[in-house]
Amino acid sequence: MNDKIYDISIIGGGPAGMFATYFAGLRNLDVALIESLPKLGGQPETLYAQKHIYDVAGLPKISATDLIKQLDKQLEITKFDKYLNTSVSSIERDENDSTWILTTNKETIRTKAIIIAIGNGAFKPRKLTFDYDKTLEDNNLNYFVNHMEDFQGKDVLVAGGGDSAVDWSIDLSKITNHTALIHRRNKYRAMESSVKKLNESDVEQLNPYIIKGVDYNADDHKKIDVHLKMIKSDDEKTVTADKLLVNYGFVSDSKILRDWHIELSGPFIKVTQEMETNLPNIFAIGDIVTYPGKLQLITTAFAEGPVAVTKALRNLYPNRDYFEHSTSIFEK
Ligand SMILES: Cc1cc2nc3c(=O)[nH]c(=O)nc-3n(C[C@H](O)[C@H](O)[C@H](O)COP(=O)(O)OP(=O)(O)OC[C@H]3O[C@@H](n4cnc5c(N)ncnc54)[C@H](O)[C@@H]3O)c2cc1C
């Protein structure tokens, strides 16, 4: 176990968790931000990156991905530890010192307070539904782009018909040897402007095809054979490539909460006006919470973070100043 004891660990790196991290850092709390995906941003970044948001105060119109970039930039100002690809599976109290122990798929994290900001639950990519050799996921078969360089000079197949698949195929085609986009329909579910860019790009469009299977190429084990079947036709073909990037969207699941002994109302966490749950020093904010009048909006999530952080600060350090305007903090 990591020996460090954080003041606050924030579970979930969507808008709620990102802004709460910034606010806690600004108040000199020792903060960990834990996100199950390889990148921060929650629903805006994962589900609707290219769409515009029109109801965040002070920002008349901003794309979801740009809003997340701004939150990320704001986070650069503050000190915190970021745990990506890290999914919290259980929360237990250490009765000896009243701290909480978070078990994750990686390390164990010890903390005095917790803010749960998990939205609709941990996102997981929707995977290919047929059986395939899972070792393909070590290199050739990807559900995320972690590093663009991994695709440099390669023959790449992208699967999917939404914004993410279309945008990735256009971006990757600028650095790959060859990029093809496989979609089961002739029409894409992506923004018109992105489809226009796709049609003007070098991306080969393989549609309407579904993927029936994927395996290692018999002659060159570094490559893969992707077996395609045309919709409503007997036409089948096999395409050999270095990589297959599947972008079939994400599924989320908050069932895990049931094992955390937190009081729920349906799928949501019940919180007080100060964002407290029924457990000591565990708070919750954002889409996962419910209270009378709750709105599932970014702007509400932004407001709930400071309330939770301030209450945690008052509980942990009763003698510290807990309310200060950011203007005074920066001027010190
Ligand atoms: C299509 C669409 C359009 C929308 N448009 C608007 C709009 O115009 N204006 C607006 O205000 N709102 C809009 N919303 C709603 C808005 O996106 C949500 O209210 C907001 O994302 C909630 O933020 P959050 O941080 O609470 O949750 P999320 O954004 O869901 O983030 C939660 C994060 O927690 C992570 N996580 C979950 N479980 C774990 C775990 N166990 N361990 C580690 N990490 C975990 C997840 O991977 C995720 O990244 C829209 C939503 C959708 C789907």
CATH of the domain at 171: 3.50.50.60
Domains of the chain: total? 2
Q: pLDDT (tens digit, 9 = 90+) per residue, 253-279? A: 778 888 899 999 988 999 999 999 999
- CA 268, 274, 278, 279: dihedral to nearest 10 degrees? 110
What was the pLDDT predicted at 170? Answer: 95
**Does ligand 1 come within 6 angstroms of the Cβ of 109?**
no
What is the amino acid identity at position 101? I
Distance 14 CA to ligand 1 centre (A): 5
**Does ligand 1 come within 6 angstroms of the Cβ of 269?**
no
User: What average pLDDT does this structure show over 113-124?
Assistant: 91
What is the amino acid identity at position 186? N
Does 123 count as an annotated binding residue?
A: yes
Which of 248, 274, 299 is the C-terminal boundary of a domain? 248
**238, 295: one domain:** no
pLDDT band at 147 (very low <50, low <70, confident <90, very high): confident
Instruction: Choose which residue among 50, 81, 86, 118 to substitute to test ligand 1 binding: the one with the highest number of ligand atoms within 8 A of its C-beta.
Output: 118
- State the DSSP H helix or E strand holding residue 158, giving kind and residue range, or none if neither: strand 155-159
Does 35 count as an annotated binding residue?
A: yes
Q: Strand runs (DSSP E) across 242-315, as ranges?
A: 243-246, 250-253, 264-265, 268-270, 282-284, 289-290
**176, 38: one domain:** no
User: Which tokens in the block code for residue 164?
Assistant: 């993410």
**Which residues neighbour 47 within 8 Å (Cβ) at sequence distance 6 or greater?**
249, 250
Nearest CA to ligand 1 atom 34: 12
Contact 56/67 with Cβ under 8 angstroms?
Answer: yes
What was the pLDDT predicted at 8? Answer: 98
More confident residue, 148 or 33: 33
**229, 261: one domain:** no
User: What average pLDDT does this structure show over 86-98?
Assistant: 93
Helix segments in the chain, DSSP class H: 15-26, 42-47, 64-75, 163-173, 192-200, 298-316, 326-331
Does 276 count as an annotated binding residue?
A: no
User: What average pLDDT does this structure show over 149-176?
Assistant: 95
**Does ligand 1 come within 6 angstroms of the Cβ of 122?**
yes
What was the pLDDT predicted at 1? Answer: 62
User: What average pLDDT does this structure show over 136-141?
Assistant: 95
Domain range for 154 is: 127-248
**141, 244: one domain:** yes
What was the pLDDT predicted at 225? Answer: 98
CA distance 75 to 17: 11
What was the pLDDT predicted at 184? Answer: 97
Instruction: Please give the backbone phi and psi of residue 269, each rounded to the nearest 5 degrees, phi first.
Output: -90, 130
Does 200 count as an annotated binding residue?
A: no
Does 287 count as an annotated binding residue?
A: yes
- Ligand 1, atom nearest to 120 Cα: 30
What was the pLDDT predicted at 308? Answer: 98
**200, 135: one domain:** yes
Q: pLDDT (tens digit, 9 = 90+) per residue, 182-210? A: 999 999 998 899 999 999 999 999 999 99
Nearest CA to ligand 1 atom 12: 297
**Does ligand 1 come within 6 angstroms of the Cβ of 305?**
no
**273, 297: one domain:** yes
**157, 87: one domain:** no
**Is pLDDT above 70 for 2?**
no
**Is pLDDT above 90 for 329?**
no
Instruction: Choose which residue among 116, 298, 300 to substitute to test ligand 1 binding: the one with the highest number of ligand atoms within 8 A of its C-beta.
Output: 298
pLDDT band at 321 (very low <50, low <70, confident <90, very high): confident
What was the pLDDT predicted at 106? Answer: 95
Contact 31/113 with Cβ under 8 angstroms?
Answer: no
Query: Which residues are registered as beta bridge partners of 122?
Result: 253
**75, 183: one domain:** no
Q: How far is CA 259 from the centre of its chain?
A: 22
User: What average pLDDT does this structure show over 221-238?
Assistant: 96
**Does ligand 1 come within 6 angstroms of the Cβ of 42?**
yes
